[in-house]
């Protein structure tokens, strides 16, 4: 029985092929983590704005989504003293729970903001609330709020609220 062993050249060729494949795949795996961080942060921002707009339309009550820079979160609050004199759907009592929790439109009272987001060029606020930026969502679908500029993983973005449709749009700026 004749047993054939691999030659040095054959082993060298196999090693070169493995190194080439590793060199092509490794950067994609490392970049995937950065991309996942960016997509997760953007998804959380979109979710907070979408849910606040939906809850305002469904409940018939205006809502405020306030970015608290120090706490690193968005706070959801009912808008008091609204100047809106339009008809609104009646506020329905909660189905279960206490203090309105677990009602027909359960929703978060706050949304965490990714620690990877760096806010830049923040709009001027009043001296009393310089660390808070407020967006308002109304039952008719309208919204108000400033443009927000931010960075995630060295990528620049701008968040714009469509005042008529109440939709948050996040655009990536050219670097």
Question: Would you kindly state where each structural domain of the chain is located, as residue ranges?
Answer: 33-79+97-172
Q: What is the pLDDT of residue 14?
A: 93
Indicate the range of 13-17, 68-72, 101-105 predicted with least confidence: 101-105
| pLDDT tens-place string over residues 22-66 | 888 877 776 667 888 889 999 999 989 999 898 888 888 888 888
125: its two tokens: 């606020």
Q: What is the pLDDT of residue 159?
A: 92
CA distances from 71 to 6, 54, 146, 148, 151 (A): 64, 24, 19, 17, 18
How sure is the predictor about 113, in pLDDT bands with cuts at 50, 70 and 90? confident
Res. 70: pLDDT tops 70: yes
Q: What is the pLDDT of residue 127?
A: 42
- pTM of the prediction? 0.67
Q: Domain 33-79+97-172, what fold?
A: minor pseudopilin epsh fold (3.55.40)
Q: Does the CA dihedral 29-30-32-37 come out positive or negative? A: positive
Contacts of 123 (CB under 8 A, 6+ apart): 133, 146, 147, 148
How does DSSP assign 161-174, residue by residue? E-TTT--EEEEEPP
Report the mean per-residue pLDDT for the chain. 79
């Amino acid at each position: 029985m004749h047993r054939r062993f691999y030659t040095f050249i054959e082993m060298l060729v196999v090693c070169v092929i493995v190194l080439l494949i590793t060199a092509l795949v490794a950067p994609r795996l490392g970049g995937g983590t950065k991309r996942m961080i960016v997509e997760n942060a953007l998804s959380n921002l979109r979710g907070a704005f979408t849910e606040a707009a939906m809850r305002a339309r469904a409940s018939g009550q205006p809502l405020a989504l306030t970015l608290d820079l120090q706490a690193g979160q968005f706070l959801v609050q009912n808008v008091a003293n609204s100047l809106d004199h339009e008809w609104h759907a009646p506020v329905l009592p909660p189905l279960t729970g206490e203090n309105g929790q677990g009602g027909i439109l359960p929703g978060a009272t706050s949304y965490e903001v990714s620690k990877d987001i760096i806010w830049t060029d923040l709009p001027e606020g009043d001296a009393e609330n310089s660390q808070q930026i407020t967006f308002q969502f109304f039952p008719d679908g309208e919204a108000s709020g400033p443009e927000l500029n931010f960075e995630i993983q060295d990528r620049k973005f701008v968040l714009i609220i469509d005042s008529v449709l109440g939709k948050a749009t996040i655009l990536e700026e050219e670097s």
